[in-house]
C-alpha cells in the first residue's frame, strides 16, 4: 500500500450503483442508525506503509497517482449517486485482540473441600452443590491410562457417566453436568485465590474467541445410546450474554457422538429459531488424540434483533488460518455484553450408559481476534484501515451482474497499478463467490475481464479464476479461465488486493498481469493477449456483483496509479 500521497489525483472518483445498498461505514460491523448525513469527520492517522508489489523504491519518474480514496473525509456532494443509495458515517477502527484468559492447569494443588484447588483456577460457581458436582466429576492430572497433557504436565479430565467410579478420577460423578463455568468473576466457590476474570467487563469489543485442546476418552462409539445425539449432542462450549441464563441468552456449540463415524459432527444451536444445524469438519476428533478447537462468537447487533450472532469454529487449526465453518443465528437475549462461558454442560437430559469423557488443556479466551489468526501483513492492514470505509451490501441473493461500484472518468491508459483493502462481514455468505474486480473497455458493455473468488458448498474459498469474457470487439483470450489458489480469505479481518496490468502490443502476446493478495503472489504472467484492438480500459468495477452472494463487503484505501509506483 502506497503512503506517499503527495501527488494530486487527476480525475474524480465516481461511484455508480444499481440496486446496491452502499454506505461509508467503519471497519467494524455496526448497524447503528444515523440521523446526521453530513457530520464532522474525525480521521485517524495512517500507519507506516506495508511493502507493496514488486520492487522497493518508488518509480517517481513514470508513476502517477490518478485515484486515491480513503473515505476518511468524504462528503455526499462529491459523489454522483443513482438508485437506492444512502451515505452514513461512523468512526471506529479494527484491531487485533487481547488475550484475557490463558490457562493450562499447571498450578494445580488438588481438591480440598471448598478451598481453591489452584491459585489461578478458572472454574467457579455460586452454589455449594454445583461445586460438589464439579469436584466429583472432574480433576486435573498428569496422566491416566498412558494419556498425558498436550502442553506442560497437567490436563483437565471430565467424566460424564454417573454409573460407576472413573478410574482416572477415583470417584463416581454425581452429575452429568460438572458446572465448569469461567469468566464469571469472583463467585462463592471455590473459596480462596482463583481466577476472577469477568467477561462482562473484560471483553469490550463485539468479538470473543475461545480456543482449547480437547481429547475424547472412553466409549465415544456406537455403544452409547442414540438418544445422546437425538437430544442434539453435548453442550460443549456455551457462550452466554444477556442475563447469563437459559437458551435465549446463549450461543451454543455442540458435539455429537455419531457412533463409530470417522468424521463425527458438531452442531450450532439457534435458540431464536429453535433449530440446530449439524456439520462435519473432516476430522475424527473422537480418535483419542489431542485436537485444537477454536470458536469465534461475534455479536452483530446489541438490540437482540434477528441474526444478531455469528459463530465460527475451526478444528485442527489453532491459529485459525484456514476457513472455519460459520453460522449466523438469533439469540433473543444476547444483549450488548458477553457474560460467561460454560464448558461441557450436559446432553439435554440424556445420559450415557458407559464411561465417556473429555480431557481439556491450554485454554485461551480473547477479546477480539487472536493475533496469531492474522498474518503479519494482515495485522498491518488492521492499522491501515482506520477512520471510515465503504460498505457494499449485496442483500439477500439479489445482486445481478450490472450491480457494482464503477470507477469511471479516469484515463487508465495501457499500464496501471491498482490496490485496495477489503473485508468480508462476519455474516457474509461465501457459498456463491464474489468478484473483487472487473475491468471494461468502451468497445462493449458485455466484454470484460473479471476476477472471481470461487468456493464450495461449505463456504470455503477453494479457487480463484481470472476470466476473459467474450465481447463483440474483444478478440483476445476470450472465455479462458486461469485457475489459481488464493491465500486464506478470513472473514472479519482486512485483506489487501494489488494488481499490476500492462497492455499487450496489438496482436502480440506480451501483456503483463501481476496479482498479489495479502502480499502473496497469486499470478505473475508476462505473455498475456488481452486485446487485439489498440484499446484501453476505461472502467473499473469493484467489487462487481457477488454472484448472488448475500452479505456485506467493506472497501477502503483505494489507489490507482499510471505505471508501477514501486
Is it the case that residue 109 has pLDDT exceeding 90?
A: yes
pLDDT at residue 501 above 90?
no
Q: Which of 55-59, 275-279, 354-358, 412-416 has the lowest mean pLDDT?
A: 55-59
Are the C-beta atoms of 250 and 238 separated by less than 8 Å?
yes
- Residue 296 has a pLDDT of 93
Is there a cis peptide before residue 144, judged by omega within 30 degrees of 0? no
Residue 537 and residue 440 in contact, taking contact as beta carbons nearer than 8 Å: yes
Quick check: 169 pLDDT over 90? yes
Coil vs helix vs strand at 237: strand
On the question of pLDDT at 339 being above 90, the answer is yes
Residue 541's pLDDT band (cuts 50, 70, 90): low
- Output the pLDDT for position 180: 98
Residue 204's pLDDT is: 93
What number is the average pLDDT over the span 334-362? Answer: 93
pLDDT greater at residue 43 or residue 487: 487
Say whether pLDDT at 379 is over 80. no
What average pLDDT does the segment 518-528 reach? 82
Report the pLDDT value the prediction gives residue 151, as an integer from 0 to 100: 96
**Residue 329 in this model has a pLDDT that exceeds 50:** yes
Cα 116 to Cα 470: distance, rounded to the nearest angstrom = 72
The Cα 67–Cα 480 span in angstroms is 30
Reported as a single tens digit per residue, the pLDDT across 245-285 is 888 999 999 999 887 788 899 999 999 999 999 988 889 99
Q: Map grid coordinates 483493502 to a residue.
A: 421
**pLDDT of 466:** 56
Global pTM reads: 0.61
**Which of the four pLDDT bands, split at 50, 70 and 90, describes residue 36?**
very low
Q: Residue 380 pLDDT > 60, yes or no?
A: no
Highest mean pLDDT among 44-48, 73-77, 311-315, 518-522 belongs to 311-315
Q: Which helix (H) or strand (E) holds 103?
A: strand 98-103
Q: Report DSSP letters for 344-373, one per residue.
A: S--BTTB--SS-EEEEEEEEEEEESS-GGG
Cα 109 versus chain centre, distance: 38
Q: Which residue has the higher pLDDT, 343 or 1?
A: 343
Q: What pLDDT band is residue 486 in, cutting at 50, 70 and 90?
A: low
The torsion angles phi and psi of 314, rounded to 5 degrees, stand at: -120, 140
Query: What is the rounded average pLDDT of the residues 415-435?
Result: 75
Asked if pLDDT for residue 5 goes beyond 70, the answer is no
Set out the domains of the chain in order of their start, with CATH numbers.
21-92+389-562 (2.60.120.560), 98-373 (2.60.120.870)
Which cell goes with 78?
A: 462529491
- Residue 39 confidence (pLDDT) above 70: no
Indicate whether 46 pLDDT > 60: no
- Mean pLDDT score of the chain, rounded to an integer? 73
- More confident of the two residues 416 and 479: 416
Highest mean pLDDT (candidates 1-10, 270-279, 523-532): 270-279
Which 8-state DSSP code applies to residue 470? -
pLDDT at 360 over 90: yes
- By DSSP bridging, strand 511-517 and strand 495-502 are antiparallel
pLDDT band (50, 70, 90) for residue 288 = very high
Q: Which residue has the higher pLDDT, 345 or 460?
A: 345
Residue reference for cell 480513503: 70
Rounded to 5 degrees, φ, ψ at 442 are -75, -5
Interval 128-154 mean pLDDT: 97
**Is 132's pLDDT higher than 60?**
yes
- Tens of pLDDT, residue by residue over 179-204, are 999 999 999 999 999 999 999 999 99
Instruction: Give the pLDDT mean for 383-402.
Output: 56
Tell me the three cell numbers of residue 520.
Answer: 502473496
For the chain, the helix, strand and coil percentages under 3-state DSSP, each to the nearest 5: 5, 35, 55
Identify which has the larger pLDDT, 133 or 491.
Answer: 133
pLDDT of residue 456: 38
Please tell me which of 146-150, 261-265, 317-321 the model is most confident about, judged by mean pLDDT.
146-150
Using pLDDT thresholds of 50, 70 and 90, give the confidence band for residue 225. Answer: low
pLDDT of 165 higher than 80? yes
Q: Is the pLDDT of residue 362 over 90?
A: yes
Percent of the chain past pLDDT 70, that is, above it, reads 60
Amino acid at each position: 500500500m502506497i503512503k506517499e500521497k503527495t501527488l494530486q489525483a487527476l480525475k474524480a472518483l465516481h461511484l455508480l450503483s444499481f440496486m446496491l445498498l452502499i454506505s461509508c461505514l467503519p471497519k467494524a460491523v455496526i448497524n447503528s442508525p444515523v440521523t446526521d448525513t453530513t457530520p464532522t469527520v474525525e480521521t485517524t492517522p495512517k500507519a507506516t506503509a506495508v511493502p507493496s508489489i514488486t520492487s522497493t523504491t518508488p518509480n517517481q519518474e513514470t508513476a502517477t497517482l490518478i485515484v486515491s480514496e480513503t473515505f476518511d473525509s468524504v462528503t455526499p456532494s462529491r459523489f454522483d449517486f443513482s438508485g437506492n443509495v444512502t451515505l452514513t458515517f461512523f468512526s471506529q477502527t479494527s484491531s487485533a485482540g487481547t488475550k484475557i484468559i490463558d490457562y493450562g492447569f499447571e498450578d494445580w494443588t488438588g481438591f480440598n473441600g471448598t478451598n481453591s484447588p489452584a491459585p489461578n483456577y478458572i472454574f467457579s460457581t455460586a452454589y455449594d452443590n454445583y461445586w460438589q458436582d464439579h469436584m466429583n466429576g472432574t480433576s486435573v492430572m498428569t496422566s491416566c491410562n498412558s494419556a498425558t497433557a498436550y502442553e506442560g504436565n497437567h490436563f483437565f479430565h471430565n467424566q460424564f457417566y454417573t454409573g460407576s467410579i472413573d478410574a482416572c478420577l477415583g470417584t463416581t460423578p454425581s452429575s452429568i453436568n460438572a458446572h465448569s463455568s469461567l469468566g464469571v468473576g469472583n463467585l462463592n466457590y471455590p473459596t480462596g485465590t482463583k481466577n476472577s476474570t469477568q467477561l462482562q467487563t473484560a471483553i469490550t469489543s463485539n468479538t470473543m474467541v475461545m480456543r482449547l485442546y480437547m481429547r475424547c476418552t472412553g466409549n465415544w462409539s456406537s455403544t452409547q445410546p442414540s438418544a445422546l445425539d437425538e437430544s442434539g449432542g453435548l453442550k460443549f462450549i456455551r457462550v452466554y450474554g444477556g442475563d447469563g441464563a437459559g437458551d435465549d441468552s446463549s450461543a451454543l456449540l455442540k458435539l455429537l457422538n455419531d457412533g463409530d463415524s470417522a468424521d463425527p459432527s458438531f452442531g450450532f444451536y439457534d435458540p431464536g429459531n429453535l433449530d440446530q444445524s449439524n456439520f462435519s469438519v473432516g476430522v475424527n476428533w473422537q480418535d483419542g488424540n489431542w485436537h485444537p478447537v477454536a470458536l469465534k462468537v461475534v455479536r452483530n447487533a446489541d438490540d437482540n434483533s434477528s441474526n444478531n450472532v455469528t459463530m465460527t469454529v475451526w478444528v485442527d487449526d489453532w491459529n485459525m488460518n484456514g476457513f472455519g465453518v460459520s453460522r449466523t443465528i438469533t439469540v433473543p437475549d444476547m444483549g450488548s455484553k458477553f457474560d460467561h462461558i460454560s464448558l461441557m454442560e450436559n446432553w439435554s437430559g440424556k445420559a450415557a450408559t458407559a464411561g465417556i469423557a473429555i480431557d481439556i488443556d491450554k485454554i485461551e479466551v480473547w477479546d477480539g481476534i487472536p493475533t496469531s489468526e492474522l498474518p503479519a501483513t494482515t495485522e498491518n492492514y488492521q492499522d491501515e484501515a482506520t477512520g471510515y470505509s465503504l460498505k457494499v451490501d449485496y442483500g439477500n441473493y439479489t445482486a445481478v451482474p450490472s450491480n457494482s461500484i464503477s470507477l469511471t472518468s479516469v484515463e487508465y491508459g495501457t499500464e496501471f497499478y491498482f490496490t485496495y483493502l477489503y473485508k468480508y462481514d462476519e455474516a457474509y455468505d461465501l457459498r456463491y463467490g464474489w468478484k473483487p474486480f472487473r475491468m471494461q473497455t468502451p468497445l462493449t458493455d458485455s466484454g470484460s475481464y473479471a476476477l472471481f473468488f470461487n468456493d464450495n458448498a461449505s463456504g470455503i474459498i477453494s479457487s480463484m479464476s481470472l476470466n476473459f469474457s467474450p465481447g463483440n470487439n474483444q478478440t483476445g483470450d476470450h472465455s479462458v479461465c486461469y485457475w489459481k489458489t488464493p491465500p486464506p480469505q478470513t472473514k472479519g479481518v482486512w485483506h489487501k488486493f494489488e494488481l499490476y496490468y500492462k497492455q499487450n502490443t496489438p496482436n502480440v502476446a506480451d501483456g503483463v498481469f501481476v496479482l498479489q493478495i495479502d502480499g502473496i503472489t497469486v499470478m505473475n504472467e508476462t505473455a498475456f493477449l488481452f486485446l487485439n484492438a489498440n484499446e484501453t480500459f476505461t472502467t473499473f468495477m469493484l467489487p462487481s456483483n457477488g454472484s448472488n452472494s448475500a452479505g456485506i463487503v467493506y472497501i477502503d484505501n483505494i489507489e490507482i496509479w499510471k505505471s508501477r509506483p514501486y
